[in-house]
């Protein structure tokens, strides 16, 4: 399973396939702790029993129908205060992969959920390790809904539901890894500003009026940017406010 090599320099050159596991992020982190994970190593599973999402949420997916994996990176060129730029590069990599199949229907919902037609198509969880105010390593977890047809969450969708086609996961994985490496190399080569601009252009509801919620209070605002540390900049009437990851949510 997953024997097709991606056309990359290092991402996905080592792929560890587990039929099932609790969390691919935990497995990848353990490889890092044991010194057994080179940059670009991938841990992928058919079924994740204790997957994690953003904000402490669980990530549930049906066995064998989706792409559930973690990628090991070592972005030691990034200062701790610039770590959101890694989030930007990874989000764009996933976006670019899915754009091949969905065109401009796919977008990035801040900070790094993947949406299509106002429904969640996938999520990303990046767990960084810092050393001396720099990123030492990053475990990049991804869960992408590919062939799943039914969901407990009505806000979720899949590539198959959107295109009415079934996909070979083994053939999709190299394409995803190639798109991830392309954007990661742009980051490593100093193109943060270009990546940031592309991220904003693909941001869900960017520069569009939308309803949000903070502490159970709903209000209308417009996303106008993202700070260098990843705070969401929202124009609310005649003032600009910045929100951290757990401080604001979209209202659908």
**pLDDT by residue (tens digit) across 202-248?**
999 999 999 999 998 999 999 999 999 999 999 999 999 999 988 99
DSSP state for residue 79 in the 8-state scheme: B
Instruction: Report the pLDDT averaged over residues 98-117.
Output: 96
pLDDT of residue 62: 80
Over 90: is that where the pLDDT of 61 sits? no
Q: Which two tokens stand for residue 235?
A: 């124009």
Measured distance CA(183)–CA(90) in Å, rounded: 7
Q: Name the strand (E) or helix (H) holding 11.
A: none
List Cα–Cα distances, 71 to 80, 85, 114, 244, in angstroms: 19, 16, 17, 25
- Lowest-pLDDT choice from 5-19, 59-73, 83-97, 107-121: 59-73
Domain 15-201 has CATH 3.30.930.10: yes
pLDDT of residue 117: 87
φ, ψ of residue 128 to 5 degrees: the values are -95, 150
Considering the domain 209-250 in this protein, what is its CATH number?
A: 2.30.30
Q: How many CB atoms lie within 10 A of CB 187?
A: 23
pLDDT of residue 206: 98
User: Pick from 194, 197, 222: which is nearest to 209 by CA?
Assistant: 222
In the chain, ranges of CATH 2.30.30 domains? 209-250
List Cα–Cα distances, 195 to 9, 58, 69, 86, 133, in angstroms: 20, 29, 23, 10, 22
pLDDT tier at 55, thresholds 50, 70, 90: very low
In the chain, ranges of CATH 3.30.930.10 domains? 15-201
pLDDT of residue 52: 60
Measured distance CA(73)–CA(37) in Å, rounded: 9
**pLDDT by residue (tens digit) across 2-48?**
999 999 999 999 999 999 999 999 999 999 999 999 999 999 999 99
**pLDDT by residue (tens digit) across 135-171?**
999 999 999 999 999 999 899 999 999 999 999 999 9
Q: Kindly report the length of the chain.
A: 252
**Furthest C-alpha separation in the chain:** 55
Q: Name the strand (E) or helix (H) holding 106.
A: strand 106-109
**pLDDT by residue (tens digit) across 146-156?**
999 999 989 99
pLDDT of residue 49: 86
């Amino acid at each position: 399973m997953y024997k097709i090599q991606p056309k990359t320099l290092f991402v996905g050159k080592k792929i560890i396939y587990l039929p099932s596991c609790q969390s691919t992020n935990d497995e990848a982190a353990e490889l890092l702790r044991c010194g057994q994970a080179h940059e670009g190593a991938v841990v992928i599973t058919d079924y994740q029993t204790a997957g994690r999402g953003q904000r402490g949420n669980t990530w549930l997916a049906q066995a064998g129908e989706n792409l559930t994996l973690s990628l090991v990176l070592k972005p030691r060129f990034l200062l701790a205060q610039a770590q959101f730029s890694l989030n930007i590069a990874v989000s764009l990599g996933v976006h670019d992969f899915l754009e091949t199949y969905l065109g401009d229907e796919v977008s990035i919902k801040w900070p790094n959920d993947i949406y299509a037609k106002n429904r969640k198509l996938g999520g990303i969880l990046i767990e960084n390790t810092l050393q001396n105010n720099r990123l030492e390593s990053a475990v990049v977890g991804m869960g992408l809904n590919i062939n799943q047809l039914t969901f407990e969450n009505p806000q979720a969708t899949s590539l198959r539901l959107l295109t009415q086609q079934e996909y070979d996961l083994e053939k999709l994985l190299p394409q995803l890894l190639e798109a991830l490496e392309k954007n990661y190399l742009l980051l490593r080569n100093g193109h943060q500003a270009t990546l940031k601009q592309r991220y904003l252009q693909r941001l869900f509801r960017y520069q569009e009026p939308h309803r949000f919620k903070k502490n159970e209070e709903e209000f209308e605002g417009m996303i106008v940017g993202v700070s260098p540390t990843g705070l969401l900049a929202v124009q609310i009437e005649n003032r600009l406010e910045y929100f951290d990851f757990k401080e604001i949510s979209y209202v659908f």
